[in-house]
Structure 1
Amino acid sequence: MLVITVMGVVASGCLSGQESTSTSTASGETSTPEKTTNVVIYGYGSEMITLDPSTEFSNSIVVLANVYECLVKYTPNGLEPWLATSWESNENGTVWTFHLRKGVKFHTGNTMTAEDVKWSIERTLRMGLGPAFIWDPIDKMEVVDDYTIKFYLKYPANLPLIASSAYGAYIMDSKYLSTIGDDNAIADWLNQGQDAGTGPYIIVKDKYDPKTEIVLKKFDDYWGGWSGDQFDIAVIKIVPDASLREQMVTSGEIQITRDLPLDDLPKLQENPNVKVDQTASYQELYAFFNTKKEPLNNKLVRQALSYAVPYKDIVDYVLHGYGEVAKGPIPKGMLGYFEDLSTYTYDPDKAKQLLAQAGYPNGGFKLLLTYTQGDEAEAKVAEIIKAEWKKLGVDVEIRPMNWEQQWALAKSDPSNAQDILMMYWWPTYPTPYDFLFNMFHCEPEINFNLCYYCNDEFDKAIDEAVTLEGIDPDKAAQLYRKAEEILMEDAPAIFFYNPDDVYVYHKSITGFKDNPGYPQVVFFYDLHKA
């Protein structure tokens, strides 16, 4: 059942400035009375998955990024200190030293040291789930002193960028969690609505319901300090209905939300009660060709179909202008994005010429396209390309599937799998390698390379590029460009668009700023009462 009223601590009178009768400790248990006077509510569309920072690899990031912190914070303008104040490496990027912020308290009351950093990363590696792969370059870690940790790598890597990851890079209280039991026991404890982070907010255990509402309370001893116009209570309210979220934000029942109907955004921009924030995201929509199956095993056919896509019309019709046509596989704003990269444009005559050259002058073949059921944008894109390719004599069967079914079909024998698979990708942390490796690198077993593409020259270029990101980004960019030019020629996928992140927030708050490196996260600490 959808709960749309503000539960628990919110309903107790915090919105009206009345006194709360209790507060919560790090574990969410009742503590001494405290006055709480203000609340901010984020209306969110999906329920939470897990609260374990070592394994979370989905949308629960919207909670964790407010409760935990990384060594480094990613911003579109560069990396910034977070729990680490500075870092340096040796000449070839195989040894990195991080200097930690002093006086940082965990929600448990313990002081953060280098031992906590080492333990947190070791636990994530040991569990080997979700985002654990980001730490693969590490050979060993050395605690130099309480506020210095040294990383020895198996190969050069941009470790500060890795340490800013939205997934798998949060630092936990090793002293407290080690008393709970093994890794599974710790996971169970965390998923009860408890935490051991350093962030500005604490999860309120008895107000934690992953399907309806998550209540966070400010951590009084937060190292960043507090001002009087920040929010004592932050709530993530699960409201799947986008139209309902729209009504709630315009009325002020919630203060911020996202993923509203794009058709409604123009009228919201004229509404004096709300503001619309539109920023470029690091998300991209792809359609993967089955390169192991006729006729798509023919490069000319893939090129022809790539020319038969009205890219600009799709952005205008599907995104209503809230996004841009993709310039290859890497989103704008990241290393590896090239404005002048030669990409496919809508050219039906060129498409017909290439099909004829490939031996299909009148098309005459049928393709199965799958997309994620319930995704309105993907459905619209699929219908557009079905209509366009029909003009070439190519018949497209569109099959919506839930993601698990779609992925299972794609991971089966390519000869029996779909011809085209449509899906979004966004990075675990903002590196081109996350895109290029996962979706296009040769792999012995099918995982996310769902076009089944394999090109040794491409692999060599990106494998070398990633080792240079931290020590020679210009050389890394050259290699990434070479790899992307290979992709453009081989056409294993269609690169449709990069949708914008669009948030709508009530006039009663200020300070919101989207950070594409932490998708869908609202950093409550940055918000202030207007």
Structure 2
Amino acid sequence: MLVITVMGVVASGCLSGQESTSTSTASGETSTPEKTTNVVIYGYGSEMITLDPSTEFSNSIVVLANVYECLVKYTPNGLEPWLATSWESNENGTVWTFHLRKGVKFHTGNTMTAEDVKWSIERTIRMGLGPAFIWDPIDKMEVVDDYTIKFYLKYPANLPLIASSAYGAYIMDSRYLSTVGDDNAIADWFNQGQDAGTGPYTIVKDKYDPKTEIVLKKFDDYWGGWSGDQFDIAVIKIVPDASLREQMVTSGEIQITRDLPLDDLPKLQENPSVKVDQTASYQELYAFFNTKKEPLNNKLVRQALSYAVPYKDIVDYVLHGYGEVAKGPIPKGMLGHFEDMDTYTYDIDKAKQLLAQAGYPDGGFKLVLTYTQGDQAEAKVAEIIKAEWKKLGVDVEIRPMNWEQQWALAKSDPSKAQDILMMYWWPTYPTPYDFLFNMFHCEPEINFNLCYYCNDEFDKAIDEAATLEGIDPDKAAQLYRKAEEILMEDAPAIFFYNPDDVYVYHKSITGFKDNPGYPQVVFFYDLHKA
């Protein structure tokens, strides 16, 4: 990752007379504050990408989810009202009606209405970038009145879940943005550090630097109201160095961070100045077999290699226990995850038997495995696989590549591509269809199905399941299970583990709760001064 000079935090008194959580000296050293402050700082490891809610599909979600809101909010316990207070559908889930919250103000001062909802979704669809695909089920929208909007779908879909998406589902002020210009002009306007959302915080334009620091201030007219112990200023500080972020959170220079060295978490758990929050994520690590190349076009070979993976040892060694062995392709906590799924376990004798049955009793072949350069967890997993498969007579060439190179190779002719590709996946919104369709559905052109797998029976099961999620989740679950059992038999990929989300926050704040549906987001509105 890029090493970026860490900028000083918000200078004391520069915004609304509020104080910073620290003061920076000319040398860049930071002194510890001696009194309660009204600023909260999230130490984050990566730069921002874009501030356009219609196209953002990466890191900037950590900003947008505090500045904008969706119709519905996803939680691990179910969907909750957000900008919509209620919703209902017809029997087959093809017509959905949403009733909007009244009295919601945009940061521009305009009042939110159904026209804003319609315009926001139409713009995202029209631009056709990033997460626009989530709205594919929509045929048309009808504004019934200022606070009611009706969606007519091309096919049944769980629209409330789609409307909770962390990407592409944010509602914008259509009246104001329509005066800015066309879609490209609006995108440029956003990326100058401006917003048109309804969220509890708004972006401070002259403090917006996507490479170093993003400053947000509270929106006084936020519909949810404010209490005295919430934070007036929220800062996202870009600090690529994980060790530096660790020092900063323990000293109180920042109040919350994530992705710290796992080796350090035990000592942090003993540190009275911080708290460690560990929750299951909706992320999973996979290794995709190239099912178009010999010998991996032989199902028995793929099954053999799947048995020759010490899954529990990998979780213990790589994650230090901060995660779980995957039970198939869908993470724990989501529809489509089955704890009793019959998955592969470490059995080297079984692996040898299957290789012999496949015609490779002594192995005798070489495989090229690619992973994202710089990802230490993936590197450790690759080394373990190399050592274990050597016991089968299989030679593994480990090839670290930057993501652009890895991606380009994977999307080339499969006969010339890698044999095995390792990567993570997490959902655009929490549906098993996002995982199963993108990675395993037949594709006319290579996109994310990087095992080049195609099974019509599998496709039929997940396509039908997706139409039933909103109206018959039990039947949908049955179909997803059928599809996943097909995957386990065909073994187009190895399902390694689901890493936990681990945040470390300073004792000076309370109220933090991780929401895996909005990956890496800290909802500043939920935080309070301890």
User: TM over 0.5, yes or no?
Assistant: yes
C-alpha displacement at 1:363, in angstroms?
Answer: 0.2
CA deviations over 1:467-517 (Å, ceiling 9, x no partner): 000000000000000000000000000000000000000000000000000
Alignment RMSD = 4.5
C-alpha displacement at 1:32, in angstroms?
Answer: 30
Counterpart residue number, 1:311: 311
CA distance in 2, matches of 1:26, 1:88: 58
C-alpha displacement at 1:2, in angstroms?
Answer: 8.9
CA deviations over 1:216-271 (Å, ceiling 9, x no partner): 00000000000000000000000000000000000000000000000000000000
> Would you say the 8 A contact 2:373–2:400 is kept in 1?
yes
CA deviations over 1:376-429 (Å, ceiling 9, x no partner): 000000000000000100000000001111011000000000000000000000
Distance 1:150 1:33, change over 3 A: farther
Aligned residue for 1:245, secondary structure, equals helix
CA deviations over 1:48-73 (Å, ceiling 9, x no partner): 00000000000100000000000000
Distance 1:82 1:216, change over 3 A: same
Counterpart residue number, 1:118: 118
Distance 1:441 1:2, change over 3 A: closer
C-alpha displacement at 1:34, in angstroms?
Answer: 22
> Would you say the 8 A contact 1:8–1:207 is kept in 2?
no
Distance 1:246 1:475, change over 3 A: same
Counterpart residue number, 1:76: 76
TM normalised by structure 2 equals 0.96
CA distance in 1, matches of 2:279, 2:144: 41
Aligned residue for 2:31, secondary structure, equals coil
CA deviations over 1:299-345 (Å, ceiling 9, x no partner): 00000000000000000000000000000000000000000000000
Q: Which runs of 5+ in 1 are unaligned?
A: none
CA distance in 1, matches of 2:418, 2:514: 36
C-alpha displacement at 1:164, in angstroms?
Answer: 0.1
Aligned residue for 1:16, secondary structure, equals coil
C-alpha displacement at 1:11, in angstroms?
Answer: 1.3
Distance 1:23 1:70, change over 3 A: farther
Distance 1:183 1:33, change over 3 A: farther
C-alpha displacement at 1:12, in angstroms?
Answer: 2.4
Aligned length: 530
Aligned residue for 1:350, secondary structure, equals helix
Distance 1:453 1:19, change over 3 A: closer
Aligned residue for 1:374, secondary structure, equals coil
Distance 1:30 1:471, change over 3 A: farther
Off by >2 Å, runs of 4+ in structure 1: 1-9, 12-37
CA distance in 2, matches of 1:430, 1:236: 25
C-alpha displacement at 1:360, in angstroms?
Answer: 0.1
CA distance in 2, matches of 1:498, 1:506: 26
> Would you say the 8 A contact 1:57–1:131 is kept in 2?
yes
CA deviations over 1:97-154 (Å, ceiling 9, x no partner): 0000000000000000000000000000000000000000000000000000000000
Distance 1:29 1:84, change over 3 A: farther
Distance 1:62 1:29, change over 3 A: farther
Deviates more, 1:385-394 or 1:25-34: 25-34
CA distance in 1, matches of 2:314, 2:260: 19
Distance 1:17 1:493, change over 3 A: same
> Would you say the 8 A contact 1:20–1:36 is kept in 2?
no
Distance 1:439 1:6, change over 3 A: closer
> Would you say the 8 A contact 2:5–2:212 is kept in 1?
no
Distance 1:177 1:33, change over 3 A: farther
Distance 1:61 1:88, change over 3 A: same
CA deviations over 1:266-309 (Å, ceiling 9, x no partner): 00000000000000000000000000000000000000000000
Aligned residue for 1:324, secondary structure, equals strand
Distance 1:411 1:175, change over 3 A: same
> Would you say the 8 A contact 1:465–1:479 is kept in 2?
yes
Q: Which runs of 5+ in 2 are unaligned?
A: none
> Would you say the 8 A contact 1:14–1:36 is kept in 2?
no
C-alpha displacement at 1:26, in angstroms?
Answer: 31
> Would you say the 8 A contact 2:21–2:37 is kept in 1?
no
C-alpha displacement at 1:31, in angstroms?
Answer: 30
CA distance in 1, matches of 2:406, 2:426: 18
